[in-house]
Structure 1
Amino acid sequence: MAELKIIGMDEVAVEEIEWLWYPYIPFGKLTIIHGDPGEGKTTLILQLAALLSRGDKLPCDDTEREPISIIYQTAEDGLGDTIKPRLLSGNADCTQIKVIDESEVPLTMLDARVERAIQETGARMIILDPMQAYLGEKVDMNRANEVRSILSQLGRIAEKYKCAIILVGHLNKMQGTKANYRGLGSVDFQATARSVLVVGRVKDSPETRVMAHQKSSLAPEGEPIAFELNKETGFHWIGHYDISIDDLLSGFSRQKKSEMAESLITDCLAEGKCPQQVIQQKAESMGISKRILDTVKKSLDVQSIKIGSKWYWQLAA
């Protein structure tokens, strides 16, 4: 029987979170990046690895950083014909990116080689792509007790070495459902990870892909960031993009949301002025962001007027 030990919170030292990429990827924690097959999540993580290998700035982040050592494991793509060409296309410093040899014995999350590799390489980031391939053949990814035990131990390794561990995964096929219910396997995957990111394709602009925050336990959710995958011009970053996760996965486009916002405003103002709070509450219930609502308001030449202590919207005369 384990010996009882009591820890007083007055004895616990306050620790500041370190970030690989604020607020998307923390050091010393587990991060999940998932999306439907073919939406660009592996390309995204390889482009990030390329930037980090050179110590370059990350998208929408002016933080100065040093090059870091990275471990990248894949169970789906060939190293020579797929992974390295993608890294080279991002101008990666391949001396900074290592792979644990799985040619004789497949790797699992709890394999002792994971911790030894982090020790020997000094890796600050390790990527397991896809995560379900590294659970182990006897593990049922739908059983919470099995999944939580493995992820908790992997999380302790991340914390011990201040290493960001990235788990790349697929979404299930439940189209049209909330993003929270589209992760494969037990919900403990998302419960254990401190940051969960979703990568999807913008439906009315199929070459545009977006990474959006589904869960952020350690900081406010980051704004969605878009990138382009073009057969002719390749990969390039676009920057912040206004779209919600549920819209990204359900098929609503930014253009569609703008049309919804326009209809909402014109309906509310059809008979004259309308309280601003009423319009904003209706927009929120429809999943229309404040940015889209304000943009459409301006395009319709809607004026804000104050009557007493309340603000109203009305169409310009």
Structure 2
Amino acid sequence: MEDNYREVKKAEPCLKLIHMDQVEVEEIEWLFYPFIPYGKVTIIQGDPGEGKTTVVLQIIAKLTKGEAILSETSEGKSEETGVEPINVIYQTAEDGLGDTIKPRLLAAGADCSRVLVIDDQDQPLTMVDARLEEAIIQTKARLVVLDPIQSFLGAGVDMHRANEIRPLMKRISVLAEKYQCAIILIGHMNKNSNGKSSYRGLGSIDFQAAARSVLIVGRVKDEPEIRVICHVKSSLAPEGDAIAFRLDKEKGFHWIGKYDISAEDLLSGDGRGQKIRSAKEFLKEILANGSMEQAKIAEEAEERGIKKKTLWNAKKELQIDSVKIGNKWFWMLQEE
């Protein structure tokens, strides 16, 4: 009996304590502040056809050219530029590389020599596949995208079981931290239209629990060309403001900027587009008789409860001209 007890004791791990006063504070590096951190996992989710893959490919295109992701904010301020171009590993299980992905990358202006794909035709790639780590080492990729999540879980994995999802998310999180690359997992939403945004992702809540940032992409009701990215979880920085982009057949993709809508409103349909429509009507009304000083417009908008970013979104949508007269800016509607 004593011999068996000694064997059990030997098998037990030794106690190791970490003193917090000896832990060094590490600064987070950002691929896209505050939405996508390096060294961590980010989830981007939304209903099919809402533009998740499109916006990720647009981001990839900018990164491979060393360009700012958002060239201009809704207030007209440019982002910092001069970022080093990076290599990207992009894995998709839904779209063809030659007929869908590459045409989209080319349209977005990507340097396709920096976009790499692991050939998994002979053996499907999974989140615990050794080839994923080998590819990161070989390419020095700073961004890895798996689109969609459920296609890379592996055969026999039930995405609704926490005990099966946790080790997968742990493995992918370790890879991100070990090589200081950003890992983006793209996922679809479930059909629970009345649920909280954090519970609308497919599968176990452990997907969202392990990610440090979770984003939702949705379409604005009554204005289907406008899509919005909303932050629903941010563990490393304050949640970012919602950002909108326009996606239409004629003009393609372009960023609009900050947008006044919450994730819950975007998903539920409550208030979708209502704030921007009210701001548009306000501008049409106040500028009907000619130009007006920008400061006075902003003051009147604030009195009516219209937020600054909503006002600027409406200005962009209406293509209102800005003219400087003396030392003041004036807005005016374009002549039809």
Matched residue, 1:267? none
Measure, in 2, the Cα distance between the counterparts of 1:243 and 1:295: 19
How many correspondences in the alignment?
268
Matched residue, 1:266? none
* Aligned partners of 1:17 and 1:26 also within 8 Å: yes
- Aligned-pair distance for 1:258? 7.5
- Aligned-pair distance for 1:58? 1.2
- Aligned-pair distance for 1:62? 1.4
Measure, in 2, the Cα distance between the counterparts of 1:83 and 1:295: 47
Matched residue, 1:27? 38
Measure, in 2, the Cα distance between the counterparts of 1:45 and 1:169: 12
- Aligned-pair distance for 1:177? 2.5
Distance 1:212 1:295, change over 3 A: farther
One-letter identity of the residue aligned with 2:155: E
1:6-155 superposed matches below 5 A:
6-59=17-70, 60=73, 62-64=79-81, 65-155=83-173
- Aligned-pair distance for 1:167? 0.2
Measure, in 2, the Cα distance between the counterparts of 1:63 and 1:165: 23
Matched residue, 1:268? none
* Aligned partners of 2:220 and 2:273 also within 8 Å: no
2:304 is the alignment partner of 1:296: yes
- Structure 2: segments with no counterpart, 5+ residues: 1-11, 280-300, 308-336
Measure, in 2, the Cα distance between the counterparts of 1:176 and 1:256: 20
Sequence identity percentage? 60
Distance 1:160 1:258, change over 3 A: closer
One-letter identity of the residue aligned with 2:174: R
Distance 1:145 1:260, change over 3 A: farther
Measure, in 1, the Cα distance between the counterparts of 2:277 and 2:53: 33
Measure, in 2, the Cα distance between the counterparts of 1:137 and 1:294: 55
Distance 1:79 1:258, change over 3 A: closer
Work out which of the residue numbers 205, 229, 253 in structure 1 matches 2:247: 229
Distance 1:4 1:50, change over 3 A: same
1:34 partner SS: strand
1:172-211 superposed matches below 5 A:
172-211=190-229
* Aligned partners of 1:174 and 1:182 also within 8 Å: yes
1:183 partner SS: coil
Measure, in 1, the Cα distance between the counterparts of 2:210 and 2:49: 25
Which moves more between the two structures, 14-23 or 225-234?
225-234
Distance 1:103 1:10, change over 3 A: same
* Aligned partners of 1:242 and 1:254 also within 8 Å: no
Measure, in 2, the Cα distance between the counterparts of 1:235 and 1:258: 20
One-letter identity of the residue aligned with 1:36: D
Measure, in 2, the Cα distance between the counterparts of 1:257 and 1:180: 24
Distance 1:239 1:259, change over 3 A: closer
- Aligned-pair distance for 1:257? 4.9
Distance 1:174 1:139, change over 3 A: same
Q: TM-score, normalised by structure 2?
A: 0.76
1:273-292 superposed matches below 5 A:
none
Matched residue, 2:181? 163
1:118-167 deviation per Cα after TM superposition (whole angstroms, max 9, x unaligned): 00000000000001111111111111111111101110110000000000
One-letter identity of the residue aligned with 1:21: F
- Structure 1: segments with no counterpart, 5+ residues: 262-292, 300-317
Measure, in 1, the Cα distance between the counterparts of 2:40 and 2:247: 29
Matched residue, 2:283? none
- Aligned-pair distance for 1:253? 3.6
Cα root mean square deviation, aligned: 1.9
* Aligned partners of 2:40 and 2:177 also within 8 Å: yes
- Aligned-pair distance for 1:5? 1.5
* Aligned partners of 2:64 and 2:87 also within 8 Å: yes
Distance 1:233 1:108, change over 3 A: same
Q: TM-score, normalised by structure 1?
A: 0.81
1:191-249 deviation per Cα after TM superposition (whole angstroms, max 9, x unaligned): 11000000000002100000110100000001111111101111111111111001111
Which moves more between the two structures, 245-254 or 100-109?
245-254
Matched residue, 1:247? 265
Measure, in 2, the Cα distance between the counterparts of 1:206 and 1:185: 27
Distance 1:298 1:237, change over 3 A: closer
